[in-house]
Amino acid sequence: MSYSSPHDSDPRDGGYGRGSRATWTSGERPDAFDPDLQPELFRGTLVRRVFAFAIDLVVLAVPVVLAYIFIAVFGLITLGLGWMLFWLAWPCTVVWVLVYYGSCIGGPHSATLGMRAMDLQLMTWYGEPGYFVLGAAHVVLFWVLASVLSPFIVLVGLFNRRRRLLHDILLGTVVINRPAPVYQPARSL
């Protein structure tokens, strides 16, 4: 297999090699993020992921709580008829979570609001940014595994060099520190 290294620094891709300049002859893609060559991308990511998760929970919970309050008040005003909307609250919450994670991971920053606040971003193991389906699958797999294996999905991150959690490994993603932007000096005329 021959390719130009995705670790080559290029100011157009943030200087951390997304593999966009790489060409592969065998169809396989190499790992884009090597903790030995780029330890700064993985330093402190587990602790900041916990805080990012807490921020995301608040962002997700505020509209849900407001919707429940609205339904409760609406039920009082309509003498109980509005309370039939409570059966919609749970499915709407699931859709809200899927849309939030999918659009944030699939967005230009490849990170949720909590991840952006903690300067983290989710990338595929071969260096491409996340996309909508990957973001939605990431949250679904996280909650399924968390309900079955609880703390063990987090413990996996302590025993691998890329600090990937179990659902990251299964989906082929890695959460890295957002690299500092590379600024080019302005050209003089």
Per-residue pLDDT band for 18 (boundaries 50, 70, 90) equals very low
Q: What is the pTM of this model?
A: 0.77
- Residue 23 scores a pLDDT above 60: no
Assigned domain for 4 exists: no
Instruction: Say whether 18 sits in a helix, a strand or coil.
Output: coil
User: Tokens standing for 18?
Assistant: 């997304």
Average confidence (pLDDT) over 131-160? 89
Residue 157 lies in a domain: yes
Beta-carbon count within 10 A of 84 CB:
11
**What confidence tens digit (pLDDT) does each residue in 102-120 have?**
999 999 999 999 999 999 9
Cα three-residue angle 14-33-150, rounded to 5 degrees? 115
The answer to the question of residue 183 being in a domain is no
Decide if 13 is inside a domain.
no
Whether 174 and 33 have beta carbons less than 8 Å apart is answered as yes
Please indicate whether residue 188 or residue 79 has the higher confidence score (pLDDT). 79
What is the structure's pLDDT at 64? 97
Assigned token pair, 186:
């302005």
What's the mean pLDDT in 145-156? 84
The pLDDT, as a whole number, for residue 158 is: 86
Average pLDDT, rounded, for the chain: 83
Q: What's the alpha-carbon Rg for the chain, to the nearest Å?
A: 20
The answer to whether residue 95 is domain-embedded is yes
Flag whether 23 is in a domain: no
Question: Is 132 within a domain?
Answer: yes
What pLDDT does 108 receive? 93
The count of structural domains within the chain is 1
**Residue 97 sits in which domain range?**
34-177
* pLDDT number for residue 13: 44
Asked whether residue 27 is domain-assigned, the answer is: no
In angstroms, the CA 134 to CA 105 distance is 7
Residue 87 has pLDDT above 90, yes or no: yes
